[in-house]
Amino acid sequence: MKALVLAAGYATRLRPLTDETAKPLLELAGRPMIDYLCDRIDEAQAVSELHVVSNARFAADFERWAKGRRGRLRPLVHNDGSRNNEERLGAIADMRFVIEQADLEGEDMLVVAGDNLFDFSLAAMVEFWRSKGSASCVAVQRCPDRERVSSYGVVELSPEGQILEFVEKPEHPASDLIATAAYVYGHSHVALIDRYLAEGNSPDQPGNFLAWLYSRQPVFGFVFEETWLDIGSHDQLREADELLRGRIE
Which one has a higher pLDDT value, 66 or 248?
66
Task: Identify the structural domains of the chain with CATH numbers, from first to last.
Answer: 2-248 (3.90.550.10)
Residue 67 has pLDDT above 70, yes or no: yes
pLDDT at 152: 82
Does pTM top 0.85 for this prediction?
yes
Which parts of 102-186 fold into alpha helices (H)?
122-130, 146-149
pLDDT at 158: 93
Q: What is the pLDDT of residues 153-166, one digit of tens each?
A: 889 999 999 999 99
CB-based contact 76:98 (threshold 8 Å) = no
Residue 249 has pLDDT above 70, yes or no: no
**CA–CA distance, 202 with 9 (Å, rounded to integer):** 15
Q: What is the pLDDT of residues 78-128, one digit of tens each?
A: 999 998 888 889 999 999 999 999 999 999 999 999 988 898 999 999 999
Which one has a higher pLDDT value, 170 or 216?
216
Residue 16: DSSP 8-state:
T
CA angle 21, 112, 86 (to 5 degrees): 50
- Neighbour tally for 78: CB within 10 Å: 21
Cis peptide before 16 (omega within 30 of 0): yes
- Neighbour tally for 114: CB within 10 Å: 27
For range 172-178, the mean pLDDT: 86
Q: Which of 143, 227, 216 is nearest to 185 (CA)?
A: 216
pLDDT at 73: 95
Q: Which of 108-112, 138-142, 199-203, 243-247 has the weakest average pLDDT?
A: 243-247
For range 192-208, the mean pLDDT: 93
- Cα-flanking dihedrals φ and ψ of residue 101, to 5°? -65, -40
